Amino acid sequence: MRSFPLLSSCVAALSSFASAELNHSQPLLSKQVLSGTFTPPQVFKNANLVRTTNLDKSYPRETINVIIENVDSKPQSEYYLPFESSLISNVGGFEAKDKKAPELGNFKVEVVEFDTESTTGFYLIHLPSPLAPKAQRTISITYSLLKSLSPVPAQISQADKQYLQYTFSAYTPSAYVTANQKTKLKFPNVDVPDYTTLPSELNAEKKTDPQRQGSTFTYGPYADIPAGASQPVTVRYESTKPVTHATLLERDIEISHWGGNLATEERYWLTNLGASLKTHFSRVEWQKSQYMNPPTTALKQINIPLAPGVLSPYFVDDIGNVSTSRFRPGARESTLELKPRYPIFGAWNYNFKIGWDAPLSTYLRKISGDSYILKVPFLEGPRMPEGVQYSRVNLRVILPEGATNVKFSTTVPLIDQSTTLHRTFMDTIGRTSLTLSAINLIDDFRDRDLIVTYDYPWTAGFRKPMVITLGMFALLAVVYVVGSVDTSIGKKKNA
């Protein structure tokens, strides 16, 4: 650890040198930074940039508030934000909005195609209105980085504290020149044993970085940082909490007009990404420690808040019901308290399935005639102080058989969507099902809604009774025919 700051400062110096040199010729057009063919045009300048990294939860959440200025001669509306390509696949919940006019909503954001060899990828932010030359605008960008915290040491004893390590660049990555910037780090507590110190020369105010203030560290301010510059910094802090990570969450929402029911089923593939056990799990130690209930890296309990009015919840895994769950219905909120079969320590997995019913009337409204509007949360799932990260969420909304003209809207960034037919329970044509996929979500997305509108003619509701009736009739007819045939043979025989 001792050599770490030295090494990192060396790297930093080198990289800053390299980028400075690059900057002379042509901004951001160097092989080291971008081997792809694409470069964002240098039309903006970051007048002032403040980045806040929040490490409270088990993943870093970053907020970048930046005043951008158009330095081009024409109005511009496309702002790029670079990420290392290893990082970009872990960026989740990327959103940008106008800091001064949040009512405008989120800007349109997309990941720019980058070729596979490139080490840099970009998020492209489309400003709702082009920014005039010389004009300024304050935008606020938030995102979180999944799987970017690593436990150091990677193996600890059962009762040890866990330390997480986070590596980032002290200079906020940017595709443009940044006139003034600083980075604030918020740690969950003051136990930060290792961190990179940066020499005071780099700092605009000639202070040695970082500046500590309780559990908050500040790097910067730094003046006039060229595009693409980076200054690696590593911090290691105590966080004896599970790093809950869902590799996959499958969510099925099924609507039944007949039953007036909205059935939800969620299937989780959970892993604890925290430090694994150095020796094996010791039940004695665990049982003894349970009296004191100290902080632990093991995930002992999962609390899932549900909407009020939820009925008949269940909690099962691959081999059956897990009896250690409790359901607390409430007027404002019901809670499903799940206790996994065993405490989930670092590197342990746990797959399970939960589900519940809810009255449909709270979610579905008839707009006009045959069309309906459905409003459901895009993501429910655990609410825990340490947070949960989801690598991939597949949401499937199964509409009644015969629903047409399906439209949806949500503020959650999606990567895939499709409408298919799902056949179940004596369907003839199959139910219309809307499948939506999102990657890299975090539990902050819990309160985002999904709004689906669809047409469902009342005649479609009678399809199934009709089919069943016809089926029964057909069966009876067949039985009758077969029966009569049989007797005729019998008669022949008897004759």
**Which parts of this chain interact with other proteins (CB under 8 A)?**
279-284, 287, 317-324, 341-342, 347-351, 423-427, 492-494
In contact, 66 and 107? CB cutoff 8 Å: no
Closest approach of other proteins to the CB of residue 386, in Å: 21
CB 82 within 8 A of CB 103: no
**What is the smallest separation between the CB atom of 280 and other proteins, expressed in angstroms?**
4
Strands, E, within 207-318: which ranges? 211-213, 216-225, 232-238, 244-256, 261-272, 276-277, 302-306, 311-317
Answer yes or no: are the C-beta atoms of 219 and 183 closer than 8 Å.
yes
Strand pairing of 108-112 and 61-70?
unpaired
* Closer CB to other proteins, 276 or 453, in the complex: 276
- Minimum CB separation of residue 479 from other proteins in Å reads 16
Tell me the β-bridge partners of 393. 249, 438
How many Å apart are CA 202 and CA 316, to the nearest integer? 56
Judged by beta carbon, residue 83 or residue 350, the one nearer other proteins is: 350
DSSP letter string, 4-55: HHHHHHHHHHHHHHHHHHHHHHSTT--TTT--SS----S-EEEEEEEEEEE-
| Closest CB to other proteins among residues 258, 281 | 281
Least distance in angstroms from the C-beta of 268 to other proteins? 12
Q: d(Cα 329, Cα 312) in Å, to the nearest integer?
A: 10
| Among the listed residues 391, 392, 358, the one whose alpha carbon sits nearest the alpha carbon of residue 377 | 358
CB of 379 to other proteins, least distance (A): 24
Residue 314 beta carbon to other proteins: minimum distance, rounded to whole angstroms: 10
The conformation of residue 210, written as its DSSP 8-state character, comes to: P
Pick 285 or 333: Cβ nearer other proteins: 285
Burial 180-216 (b: 16+ CB within 10 A, else e): bbbbbbebbeeebeebbebeeebbeeeeebbeeeebe
Encoding tokens for residue 106? 């989120």
Q: How far is the CB of 191 from other proteins (least distance, A)?
A: 23
Instruction: Tell me: cis bond preceding 221? Omega within 30 of 0 counts.
Output: yes
Closer of 284 and 331 to other proteins (Cβ):
284
Q: How far is the CB of 365 from other proteins (least distance, A)?
A: 29
Residue 387 CB neighbour total at 10 angstroms: 21
Closest approach, Cβ 243 to other proteins, in A, equals 16
Which tokens hold the place of 299? 């995930």
Cβ proximity to other proteins, 331 vs 489, nearer residue: 489
Taking the least distance from each CB to other proteins, the nearer of 236 and 245 is 245
Cα–Cα distances in angstroms (integers) from residue 309 to residues 58, 75, 201, 467, 472, in the given order: 31, 52, 61, 33, 37
Taking the CA of residue 211 as centre, how many other CA atoms within 13 Å lie in the half-sphere pointing to its CB? Answer: 13
Instruction: For residue 173, say if its preceding peptide bond is cis, omega within 30 degrees of 0.
Output: no
Indicate the residue among 284 and 292 with the shorter CB distance to other proteins. Answer: 284
- What's the count of helices (H) and strands (E) in the chain, helices before strands? 4, 31
Q: Which is nearer to other proteins, 323 or 368 (CB)?
A: 323
Structure tokens at 232: 């690696």
Q: Which is nearer to other proteins, 119 or 276 (CB)?
A: 276
As measured in angstroms, the least distance from the Cβ of 324 to other proteins is: 7
Least spacing, CB of residue 265 vs other proteins, in Å: 12
C-alpha to C-alpha distance for 413 and 93, rounded to whole angstroms: 7
Least separation in angstroms between residue 61's CB and other proteins is: 29
Q: Please state the closest distance from residue 299 (CB atom) to other proteins, in A.
A: 13
* Cβ 301 vs Cβ 370: under 8 Å: no
For residues 410 and 378, the answer to whether their CB atoms sit within 8 Å is yes
Distance CA 270, CA 341 (A): 13
Q: How far apart are CA 150 and CA 59, in angstroms?
A: 10
Residue 480, C-beta contacts closer than 8 angstroms, at least 6 positions apart: none
* 343 vs 413 by CB, closer to other proteins: 343
CB closer to other proteins, 287 vs 409:
287
Q: Between 38 and 342, name the residue whose CB sits nearer to other proteins.
A: 342
CB 46 within 8 Å of CB 177:
yes
Contact 120, 34 (CB under 8 A): yes
